[in-house]
Amino acid sequence: MSTLSTSERTRLAVLGSPIAHSKSPALHRAAYRRLGLDWDYDAIEVAGAGLPGFIDGLDASWRGLSLTMPLKQDVLPLLDSADALVELTGAANTVVLHDGRRLGFNTDVGGIVRALGESGVTGVHAGVLIGAGATAASALVAMAELGAAHVRVLVRREGAAAPLVELGRRAGLVVDERPIASLATLGSDEAELVISTVPGGSELGAAPPPELVAGAVLLDVAYDPWPSRLGAAWLDGGGRVVHGLGMLLHQAVLQVRAFVGGDPATPLADEASVVAAMRAAIG
């Protein structure tokens, strides 16, 4: 797929509900400025029921969409093609619009792996995952890419992790479901990595024990409010926390690759300076 000419006015946006808090516009605008592209990137409130009509109404000026909750799964039947990670996770956070076609990508998996790697986490044997939504599916696949053999999924509702148990089978790791209250009884030998995919203001009803905090790294994908309640508990206990903005940054870098060149696996020209500009834009 060829890159669009810099002389063409191009539109992009992040969609979701709620969306006013999103830092994606700051990230993407910084990237396109650094690349010399006069592209517009906005945040637009769209709920699941409104997604088909919104996408159907886009004209040829639109290059792509970033998707947040609850749209990562709602968009699937609207795509003309999907990459392997979308097929595996059942979630697309990126849509490239090209020649009348809608191409779906998942950059959340890569964003998680890159954010953890930046913080020194390059391999995991056992992990804990809190939540069972679309982002949790990407987090589970990211754990598999890091070498995890076993992941425990903590959920509020019994049976909610059933799709993740099946996803784990296909991704080559064992997944078991536990109630979220079991967070309080996890030992330090049960996880090297904990990933929380629940909203930052959520009350989990259980606190992590000191042994777990001391022995496991926490990646909390929530970044507003920060720290989340879980993140605060980890920090107060002297544990290592990977900020949710790290995932947001790195999945956005992969989105920019897709929007500019059509492939999230192909690095941008002078990518290091683009990443630096994006990082500076969100502090």
Residues forming the active site? 72
Cis amide bond preceding 52, omega within 30: no
Long-range contacts of 131-135 (CB under 8 A, 24+ apart): 131/155, 131/196, 131/197, 131/198, 132/160, 132/161, 132/163, 132/164, 133/69, 133/197, 134/69, 134/70, 134/72, 134/73, 134/89, 134/90, 134/91, 135/69, 135/72, 135/91, 135/108, 135/197, 135/221
Quickly count: other Cβ atoms within 10 Å of residue 16's Cβ. Answer: 25
Q: How far is Cα 200 from Cα 119, in angstroms, rounded to an integer?
A: 20
Contacts of 125 (CB under 8 A, 6+ apart): 147, 148, 149, 150, 192
